[in-house]
């Protein structure tokens, strides 16, 4: 592609990922209004967020695999179309059930946008620019959580909650036109039978695990396992995963190729991703730590998170450029050490405005560097061209599993320690210990960027 075409593709991918990410962040200010309009209880309200995340977890491997089979363009357009259709369903919703269905469709469409975008970068961008491009895509999430609540507040003040989703319709139309014009089209010329059995088992196992973990009561983890909303789902997930793995070994074209895990680098990156997802989840509890430690209102605590979010947005593309210059492994190691430093500040320091803001900003630098380019760069290096989207989708799954378990871990430790400042600092300390283990894993990574010329020569 020409330089001009690459810039156009980058803008297209950036806008698509931003649209999907914004609808995670922008709905926050609207939740009280939606609760009142549709007479929802708190559990129903939480499912408006959870079903979006759940469908991203379930849909990611399926759309990623379809992208490898049928081509990037058609799958990207299908995902955008689903997202737009889900937005339309939300706008026209007469009741809670339809509202939930709209969020489900939205989440399903959003699930394929990011892995396909990462695969397109691997397909079309020269190797020396892939880190920068992945970093730019990674910066989207920081931008979404910085801008989303602000946009949501503006729409709610001057219009209605419907406009939060109506704005997606013209954007989706423009993205579909751009995808048709710019993205590579063709998939595999000779297709083996689709792995429907594996796709079904993966969907069921991930759904069961996600529902079981989501329903855990972080105040009473042990008691939660006696609940019919928890243990049957976790048991089903634990049984289905080995069945899925056996099915994949026998499938002609598996959804998740077992040979992926023959690569030592893939094994390490997936372990690191699960750890990073667990650590990332801790940020959800930081406002509660600020409220307890600084004796402030929840709204003030939310504002104290903005410096960390801003740092994440800025750092992700910078980390991508560094990956292009020196390779991914050193960036991953440095980022994990930075995360460890931020967690230690929040664990062992007295919580003041200075320690809270500095700790979250340092943590933000490390998290942004990890979630943007380096992990995805390693996966692009290790995957065959025809499996690029599938491996990116697999990375998303490990991140999401870490996020799900992280919420339960932090909540249970904080509660067992009596809550408050002591409880939240203890839970962050547990995550610091986990980070130390992940740092050790990271030293097994090879520096793919630096070794490439030697291999070529």
DSSP string, 179-224: HHHHS-----SSPPPP-HHHHHHHHHHHHHHHHHHHT--TT-HHHH
Its pTM stands at 0.81
Q: What is the mean pLDDT of residues 394-421?
A: 81
How far is the C-alpha of 251 from the C-alpha of 229, rounded, in Å? 33
Average pLDDT over residues 2-9: 87
Give the separation between CA 315 and CA 146, rounded to whole angstroms.
14
- Segment 98-112 shows an average pLDDT of 93
199-213, 232-246, 288-302, 434-448 — which is least confidently predicted? 288-302
pLDDT at 45: 77
The answer to which of 46-60, 190-204, 232-246, 362-376 has the lowest mean pLDDT is 46-60
Q: Considering the chain, what percentage of its residues have pLDDT values greater than 70?
A: 94
Cα separation, 436 vs 333, whole angstroms: 11
Q: Tell me the percentage of the chain whose pLDDT exceeds 90.
A: 37
Q: Distance between CA atoms of 337 and 11, rounded to whole angstroms?
A: 32
pLDDT at 219: 62
Residue 355 has pLDDT above 50, yes or no: yes
| CATH code of domain 259-447 | 1.20.1250.20
Instruction: Please compute the mean of the pLDDT values over residues 93-99 and round it to a whole number.
Output: 94
**Confidence at 396, pLDDT banded by 50, 70, 90:** confident
pLDDT reading at 296 higher than 50: yes
| The two domains 1-182 and 259-447 share their CATH topology (first three levels equal) | yes
Whether residue 288 has pLDDT greater than 50: yes
pLDDT number for residue 450:
44
Examine the pLDDT at 301 and tell me if it is beyond 50.
yes
pLDDT in tens, 145-176: 667 777 887 888 888 889 989 999 999 999 99
**Residue 448 pLDDT exceeds 60:** no
Distance CA(90)–CA(316), nearest Å, equals 32
The pLDDT assigned to 189 comes to 62
255 vs 206: CA distance, rounded Å: 14
- List all residues 6 or more positions away from 440 whose beta carbon is below 8 Å from its beta carbon: none
Report the pLDDT value the prediction gives residue 89, as an integer from 0 to 100: 97
Cα 191 to its chain centre, rounded Å, is 30
Distance CA 240, CA 203 (A): 10
| Tokens representing residue 68 in the block | 């490898």
Tens-digit pLDDT profile for residues 180-211:
999 987 766 677 888 999 999 998 998 898 88
Instruction: Say how far apart CA 142 and CA 25 lie, in whole Å.
Output: 10
Report the chain's terminal Cα–Cα distance, integer Å: 25
- pLDDT recorded at residue 409: 78
The pLDDT, as a whole number, for residue 393 is: 87
- Each domain of the chain, given as residue ranges in start order, spans 1-182, 201-252, 259-447
Most confidently modeled range among 17-21, 178-182, 210-214, 323-327? 178-182
* CATH classification for the domain delimited by 1-182, as one of 1.20.1250.20, 3.20.20.60, 3.30.565.10, 3.20.20.70: 1.20.1250.20
Mean pLDDT computed over 302-324: 86
Distance between CA 276 and CA 262 in Å, rounded?
22
Average pLDDT of 353-382? 90
What is the Rg, in whole angstroms, of the alpha carbon atoms belonging to the chain? Answer: 21
What mean pLDDT, rounded, does the chain reach? 86
């Amino acid at each position: 592609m020409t330089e001009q075409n690459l810039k156009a593709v980058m803008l297209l991918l950036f806008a698509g990922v931003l649209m999907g990410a914004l609808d995670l962040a922008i709905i926050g200010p609207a939740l009280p209004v939606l609760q009142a309009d549709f007479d929802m209880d708190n559990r129903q309200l939480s499912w408006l967020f959870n079903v979006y995340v759940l469908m991203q977890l379930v849909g990611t491997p399926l759309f990623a695999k379809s992208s490898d089979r049928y081509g990037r363009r058609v799958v990207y357009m299908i995902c955008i179309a689903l997202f737009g259709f889900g937005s339309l369903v939300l706008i026209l919703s007469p009741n809670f059930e339809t509202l939930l269905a709209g969020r489900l469709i939205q989440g399903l469409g959003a699930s394929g946008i990011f892995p396909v975008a990462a695969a397109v970068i691997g397909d079309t961008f020269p190797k020396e620019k892939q880190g920068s491009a992945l970093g730019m895509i990674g910066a989207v999430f920081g931008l979404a959580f910085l801008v989303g609540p602000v946009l949501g507040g503006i729409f709610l003040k001057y219009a209605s909650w419907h406009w939060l989703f109506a704005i997606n319709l013209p954007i989706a139309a423009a993205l579909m036109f751009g995808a048709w014009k710019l993205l590579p089209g063709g998939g595999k010329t000779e297709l083996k039978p689709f792995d429907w059995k594996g796709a079904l088992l993966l969907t069921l196992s991930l759904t069961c695990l996600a529902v079981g973990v989501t329903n855990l009561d972080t105040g009473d983890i042990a008691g939660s396992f006696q609940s019919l909303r928890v243990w049957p789902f976790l048991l089903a997930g634990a049984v289905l995963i080995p069945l899925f793995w056996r099915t994949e070994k026998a499938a002609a074209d598996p959804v998740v190729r077992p040979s992926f895990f023959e690569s030592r680098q893939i094994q390490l990156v997936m372990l690191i991703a699960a750890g990073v997802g667990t650590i990332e989840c801790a940020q959800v509890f930081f406002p509660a730590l600020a409220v307890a430690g600084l004796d402030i209102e929840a709204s003030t605590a939310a504002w104290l998170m903005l410096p960390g979010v801003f740092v994440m947005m800025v750092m992700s593309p910078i980390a991508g450029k560094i990956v292009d210059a020196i390779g991914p492994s050193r960036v991953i190691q440095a980022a994990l050490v930075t995360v460890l430093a931020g967690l230690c500040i929040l664990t062992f320091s007295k919580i003041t405005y200075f320690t809270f803001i500095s700790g979250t900003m340092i943590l933000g630098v490390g998290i942004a560097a990890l979630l943007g380019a380096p992990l995805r760069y390693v996966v692009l290096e290790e995957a065959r061209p025809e499996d690029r989207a599938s491996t990116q989708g697999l990375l998303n799954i490990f991140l999401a599993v870490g996020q799900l378990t992280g919420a339960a871990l932090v909540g249970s430790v904080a509660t067992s320690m009596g809550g408050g400042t002591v409880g939240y600092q203890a839970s962050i300390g547990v995550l610091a210990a986990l980070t130390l283990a992940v740092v050790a894993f990271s030293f097994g990574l090879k520096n793919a960027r630096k070794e490439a010329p030697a291999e070529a020569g």
